[in-house]
Structure formats: C-alpha cells, structure tokens
Structure 1
C-alpha cells in the first residue's frame, strides 16, 4: 500500500521510471504525459525570477565572482561566505555529476548537454532568490550561531507555521536521514565492486569519518568542505582539461555536434530533439538543486561580506554555475571526446563515465572515477547532516539532547544504508525531495515582492557607490525578521 502511494506521488512529481535524487543515476526515461509536474514548476520558477530580477545572472555575471573577494571572513555567529559556498557544493556535487550526465547523453544524445547548460543559466536566478530569503530570515540557535532555510522564511515571512513544519519534516526524512544512507550505499558498493572491500567494513569507516566531522556542527562541516570541495573540484577539472588538451583537434567538431543535436539539425533530428531537451533539463535541475530548498540552509549560516542578504544570493548563484556549467561539462567532454555517445545505450551512467576515461588514460581512469565517486558521495553525506541540523531549531531541539538524538539517527542510517538494498527507500527519499521542492517553489514565488525589494536595495546602494550593507527597515519585506539579526 505504502509503495503504491509513494510510486503514485513520485509519478506525478517527477515522471515515470525516474530516480530523481541529484546524486543518483536515472533508471529510465520519463513519460511526459504522466508528469513531471515538478520539472514544469522548476523551469517556470527559473524563468520567473530571471524576468523579475532583470536577468541578474547575466547582467551581474562578472560581479558574482568579485563578491568572493574577502569571502573567507567568518564571525562567532556565522561561517564565511566561502565556507557556505563549499558546504552547499558538498551536497550539490555528487555522483550525479559523474553518472547523471552520462545518463542524459545516453537518453538524449549530445544535444542534452546544451539544454543542461540552458536550465542551469535560468536556475541561477532561482538559486539567487531562495538564498537571499535564507539569509534574510535567518535566526540564532541556542549557541548564538546563524541557522535558517525555507522553514524559517515560510514561518517568519509568510506566517504559515504548518507549511514550515511540513517542509522541515520532508527535509529531515530526505536530507537528514535517507539521502545519507543512499550515498553511503553508493560508496560501499563502489569499494566492494572495485576492491572487494566488505560493505560492513567500509560502512563503519564512513561512520567514523563522518562522526569526527559532524561533531563540530556546521562549523566543523564548513571547515571540512572548504578543504575537500576545492581539492575534488580542481582535481576533476584538471583531469577533464588534460583529456580536452589531448583531443583538442576534435573539440570544435564536438561543440558543433552538441549545438546541432540540441536543435534537431542532424539525421533523425525530430525524434532526438525531444529527448535532448527533456533529459538535458532534468539532469541540470537535479544536479544543481536550485529550487529544492536545500541550499538556503548553507546560505543562512553565513556572515555575508558585505553584510547584506543579497551577497549570499550571488555566492550561491555561483554554486549553480560551478556545479552544472563547469563540473557537469567536464563529464560531458570526457564522454563525448572518447566517442562513447553511441555506446551509451544499454550502459549504466557511471559505467559509461568510467569507460570513457579508461579510453583516454588507460586502466587508471577506472580507479580515478571510483575514487571520485567515493569522495563526491562522502562530501554529500556530511553536508546532508548540516541541512537537517539547521531545522532542529524549528522544533526547539537545538540543544545537546536534540543534537545527540539526531546525530545517532543519522549515523545509524549511514550504517544501515551501507549494507541495505535501497529501492523502496530511494523512492521515499525522492518523494520527500519532491514535496519539499514543491513547498519551496510555492513559497519563494509567493515571496517575490520581498526578493525584488531587497535586491533593488542592494543594486541601488551599489550603483550609488556605497558599500551595500543592510539594516532592518531599509526596504519593505513580508513578515518580519528575528530581533537583532539585522
């Protein structure tokens, strides 16, 4: 009965036959006739905020990078902007960047990459909007540190406590517990298949490492993220650059192939066009998480520089760009330059990526991808804890007992997930993610007046040559912020 209900909800939200977690491979095609509602909502949301904010991701593209200057400054209340970016990327960047792109190519051809780029560009506006709200409506926990996220701006901005609680419960189920179990399962499976390491041993090792990091709370996770994310991101980009350099003469033809396939200009183009658009959009949305409501938790924990909510909008907008435009493109180039597109059909996502890199650099390519899977998935395991912990304050559980209970449940799920078969759990996690995304999209569109108002405040101050600092009352907002935050 439960399985039937979960499957029906997922079919409406995500479409038929789709594993949707951003860090899980897609299992099959989507039947547009039976959905997916959430895809339409996410695309509409991206276009909506692109228009409402005057194309902020295009007009302020280079400024977005300049905001990172001085971004390493933290305070006793909040982590630094750079740490907030790395924390959000820890959760965003996962095996979906390796396997998901391969699946998009296998189902939609090279043209899917172009549409993945397009949806990332409009998704940057969504990421900007939700992160501004996360920062504006942040609160202090019992340690005096900043916390926040959709539940907080729904409660304070819209006055809908019941909706805030519903979002938090979905987030606890998804990010707090199940997603970490799934990521642990990904790691243990990879290690068992590649090196015959028993899942129990690797599961215990994951718990030990995760416990050492999460015991430090958001700050401990942020410190880990600012070391791990640049290391794994730069490492993967360097490998992709080496592959591109080796095959530099083939790059113009590959780019031409991507563009022509994206618009159905090649043979059998009409049938391929729909698949390219559909799969490119899906993978872009699932990879960067813009609109799901996860990233505002990282944004809210920061002490922004300059001290204005819009600063975090720019920072997290950069996260969408880096995740999809940079890292997913690296995977696409590795696959397409290997000539693996035609071999994609019938091959699993991560297998296609491994095979492509093996063609480029030999057997070590398989080992490199196995190591990347483990590191990408582990950073997601750790960052997921932070998102769940941020919502403890909503239930007045941000104390020693509440954190201990949450941490025990989180670590227990990792151990269980490392050894379990998870199809049903994946489906429940996908439902939780889908429902929280629906709630978040409705909330941020509802709060468009606040997003536009506070963004214009920042734009105007910057245009006048002032340092854009925000003080409570500077512009009209919906609801109210917590006392003494601004």
Structure 2
C-alpha cells in the first residue's frame, strides 16, 4: 500500500504539484485571446438557456438547460463551501480575487471543450454520448485510442469512485455533527436515493438535477445575500481588502501575493473544473441546434460556480468576525459554518447542513454519470454498467459510514491530474477544429439567425455522427 501511495504521490507532484495549474492558466488565456474573448462577447446569450425550453420535437431529449443544471450540480459542491474557506485561510482574502480571475479565463476553456464534445457526440441506443474520450477518438483518430482509454480510466477512478466516497463522507460528517444522526443511517439514505436515481439512466438524472440544482443554488445564494445586505456598509471595505491582498498591497498571511495567487488559482480550478474534461461528458448529452450553443451554455456554469456561489461563501466569511487573518485553527467547512452562525444564529448551521446535503447529492449523481459515460466508451456490455452502479452505491455507503474510508482513495487527485493533462493535449491539437465551428456559429449569427443550426455536410472532412445532427423540426 505504501508503494502505491508513493507512486500516486509522484503522479500528483508531476501534475498538480507544479505543471498543471500554470498550463490551465496559460491555455485558458490563449483560448480567450485567440477566440477574441468569446466568453465576454457571448455573455448575454449564456443566460437565455435558463428560460428556453427544449428546441427539438423530441420531448424525451435532454435540453441544453437540463445539461447545464446537471453540470452546475456537479461543479457546485464541497469546493464552494469548504474549498473557499481553505483558500482564504491559506492565501488570505486576495485568494478570492484570483478565483474570480481564473473563472473568467476558464469560461473560454469550458466553451471550447464542451463545443468539441458536442461536435463529436454519438447517438447510442437513443441517447447522446460524448466527452473527452470520444472527442479524442473521433477528432484525432484511432492512433490515439490509448490516450482516450487512459482518460476514461482516470475519469472513473477519480470521479465515480474517489470523489463519490468523499461526498458521502462529507454529508455523513456534517449530519452527524449538526443533527447527531449516526453515519450509518445517513449512508443507507444516501445509497438508497442514489441507487434509485442512477438506475433511471441519464434522463432521470437530468430531471432530478433540473429540480434539485435550482433549489440548492437559490437557497444558498439567498442566505448569502441576506448576510451581505445585513453588512452592506462593510462590503466596499471587504472588496478593497480582497483586491489589495491579491496584489500584495496588504499582506494577510505569510507569502503575501504569492500565497493568494497560488491558493486562488488552485481552489478555483478545483471548483469549476474548466479544462479537466469532466463537464463535456454532460454537455454532449444535450440535444441542441449547434455545438457552440451548448459550449456557450456550459461556460455559464463556470461563472455560476465561481463568480456567484464561491463569492457567496467568501463574503459570508469575510463579512463576519470568525475569520482571523493568519490564523489556522478554524478552516474548511467549520469556518463557513461558524461564520454563518455568527451572522444569523445557531439555526444557520442546520441550514448549511441542508445545503451540503444537496450540493453533495447533486455531485454524486454527476460523478456517477461521468463514470458511466467513460465505461460505455470502453465497453458496450450492459453488465458493466450494472456493476458500476452497484459499486458506486456501495462506495457512497462506505464513504459515509467509515470516517477514515476516504483515505483509501488517495489516487483520486493524481488521476484527476492525469485526465486534465490528457484533455489539455487534445484541446490544443483540436483547437483549429474548434475555431472552425465557432466561426460557423458567428457567421450564421451575422445573417440574423437567432438559433444557428449546425450542418454536418459543411464539415464532411470530420468524423461526425450524422444521426446526431439531424435537422431540428
């Protein structure tokens, strides 16, 4: 076991340790500049999907909005509550500024990777399947099948197994601490509900996300807005502190600007997942008129995750009196919880427990679907999917009932580093193709078309599934 831990530790050092974060930032800046700041130019269009019904005649199809909400449900999780608190503790208030910055850059990366996933999606048994693995095969060719398999295995290991154990552990711990309910009861409840949903397939998963995600997001944002309004006179000073600390004008923790920059970028990337290739698996399920339209939509999920939800946690902490710059005694979810209590009273900790339950629950079903999608790429046997579902339900239960169970999944972060490197390599090689479909979308918008429609015949040189792009009625 120690040998395995050392091996995955080396992988983690070679990815997250020094290389991956700069790569994600540099590539994000590259995508932003070369696409002519696409995330800002299409910013208004991003919000239209929230009010738009399915654009197709197939009522069973997954709409762009449902795919968006499912990806938000996956991105918004413990990182938005505990991760932001850790970033502030270790990097000071300035870390929040750099979280904002990496989110704005990551919106372009997300748009590119999700547009490519839509372009190369396949119609399998009446459902759309896509994501980085299929993008690699159909975009780069059979010679890169080994790379696609490496990505798929890393995705299953990190998201379907490792992160689901962490989510179950987080929920059970929060429920036990605030409500005194034994972990085994929480584990049985989580396993039962998760099993019911994932056995319904992507359609049931999407329908659940369409209901759960708006409730959890609105509820958490509402409580944060209440706290901001209660402390509105202090808000300008907090924002000024964030900016000053970000550039080293004020030093809140040892390391100054360097600590703020490192923690902000790292926690921001962990939270919004832009560039990791995970969200494209969900983006590809939507039945839309053009690949770029879903890319634009998915770019919005990065904005909501970091600029809105993470900012809510940051202001709750920084507007309170629990956080002490440089102190490390209280961090993570405890800092967020105690900050809420200081603002609103003891009842707020139960409110946060409910938020954690919803956030983690939505992440579990999202993580499961990523694993299922990767598995169907490697094997079409239904038995494989059935075994994966049983395994995920079991892992959620074990993660919930055993406080130290998550230590077994030490390979999660290193595997996520591997899939991020693979995804970035594929994005760079396929970037000219992404620019082609982006230009096609822009040209059709210039003609006055409200919803540009993709015509695969105009891209006959690409390995596109024509049945996935039949004309919309």
Normalised by the size of structure 2, how large is the TM-score? 0.94
CA, structure 1 residues 350+388, in 2 after alignment: closer, same or farther (shift >3 Å)?
same
Give the drift of 1:268. Answer: 7.4
State whether residues 76 and 145 of structure 1, in contact with CA within 8 Å, keep that contact through their aligned partners in structure 2: no
**What's 1:323 paired with?**
305
Deviates further, 59-68 or 203-212: 59-68
Q: 2:8 aligns with which of 6, 9, 17?
A: 6
Structure 1: distance between partners of 2:252 and 2:212: 44
**What's 2:439 paired with?**
456
Q: 2:73 aligns with which of 74, 79, 90?
A: 90
The 3-state SS of whatever aligns with 2:329 is coil
**What's 2:35 paired with?**
53
Q: Is the aligned partner of 1:104 residue 2:106?
A: no
Q: Is the aligned partner of 1:183 residue 2:167?
A: yes
Structure 2: distance between partners of 1:71 and 1:167: 33
Structure 1: distance between partners of 2:290 and 2:381: 26
Q: 1:416 aligns with which of 394, 398, 407?
A: 398
CA, structure 1 residues 469+177, in 2 after alignment: closer, same or farther (shift >3 Å)?
same
The 3-state SS of whatever aligns with 1:265 is coil
Q: Is the aligned partner of 1:161 residue 2:145?
A: yes
Give the drift of 1:393. Answer: 2.7
1:142-173: per-residue Cα shift (whole Å, max 9, x none)? x2110110000000000111111111111111
Q: 2:256 aligns with which of 272, 282, 286?
A: 272
**What's 2:179 paired with?**
195
Structure 1: distance between partners of 2:116 and 2:350: 41
CA, structure 1 residues 173+269, in 2 after alignment: closer, same or farther (shift >3 Å)?
closer
Structure 2: distance between partners of 1:73 and 1:473: 21
Structure 1: distance between partners of 2:308 and 2:251: 29
Give the drift of 1:72. Answer: 4.1
1:249-273: per-residue Cα shift (whole Å, max 9, x none)? 1111111111111111125799411
State whether residues 261 and 269 of structure 1, in contact with CA within 8 Å, keep that contact through their aligned partners in structure 2: no
State whether residues 254 and 336 of structure 1, in contact with CA within 8 Å, keep that contact through their aligned partners in structure 2: yes
Structure 2: distance between partners of 1:84 and 1:264: 40
Q: Is the aligned partner of 1:358 residue 2:366?
A: no
Deviates further, 373-382 or 412-421: 412-421
Give the drift of 1:423. Answer: 5.0
**What's 2:157 paired with?**
173
The 3-state SS of whatever aligns with 1:54 is coil
Deviates further, 228-237 or 378-387: 378-387
State whether residues 3 and 424 of structure 1, in contact with CA within 8 Å, keep that contact through their aligned partners in structure 2: no
Structure 2: distance between partners of 1:358 and 1:70: 38
Structure 1: distance between partners of 2:12 and 2:261: 21
The 3-state SS of whatever aligns with 2:410 is helix
State whether residues 123 and 467 of structure 2, in contact with CA within 8 Å, keep that contact through their aligned partners in structure 1: no
Structure 2: distance between partners of 1:97 and 1:255: 19
1:30-75: per-residue Cα shift (whole Å, max 9, x none)? xxxxx2x111111112111101211001122112223444244563
State whether residues 77 and 303 of structure 1, in contact with CA within 8 Å, keep that contact through their aligned partners in structure 2: no
CA, structure 1 residues 73+465, in 2 after alignment: closer, same or farther (shift >3 Å)?
closer
1:79-138: per-residue Cα shift (whole Å, max 9, x none)? 011110111011111011001111111111111111110000000000001100111111
State whether residues 109 and 341 of structure 1, in contact with CA within 8 Å, keep that contact through their aligned partners in structure 2: no
Q: Is the aligned partner of 1:116 residue 2:118?
A: no
Deviates further, 290-299 or 365-374: 365-374
Structure 1: distance between partners of 2:286 and 2:180: 41
Q: 2:388 aligns with which of 406, 416, 419?
A: 406
RMSD between aligned alpha carbons?
Answer: 1.8
Runs of 5+ consecutive residues of structure 1 not aligned to the other structure:
16-34
**What's 1:32 paired with?**
none
State whether residues 165 and 406 of structure 2, in contact with CA within 8 Å, keep that contact through their aligned partners in structure 1: no
CA, structure 1 residues 332+345, in 2 after alignment: closer, same or farther (shift >3 Å)?
same
Structure 2: distance between partners of 1:339 and 1:473: 61
1:209-242: per-residue Cα shift (whole Å, max 9, x none)? 1111111111101000010100000011110110
**What's 1:21 paired with?**
none
Runs of 5+ consecutive residues of structure 2 not aligned to the other structure:
none
**What's 1:482 paired with?**
465
State whether residues 49 and 64 of structure 2, in contact with CA within 8 Å, keep that contact through their aligned partners in structure 1: no
Q: 2:365 aligns with which of 382, 385, 399?
A: 382
Q: 1:425 aligns with which of 398, 408, 419?
A: 408
Number of corresponding residues: 461
Structure 2: distance between partners of 1:79 and 1:53: 28
Structure 2: distance between partners of 1:148 and 1:76: 20
Normalised by the size of structure 1, how large is the TM-score? 0.91
State whether residues 453 and 476 of structure 1, in contact with CA within 8 Å, keep that contact through their aligned partners in structure 2: no
State whether residues 169 and 406 of structure 2, in contact with CA within 8 Å, keep that contact through their aligned partners in structure 1: no
Give the drift of 1:77. Answer: 6.7
**What's 1:335 paired with?**
317
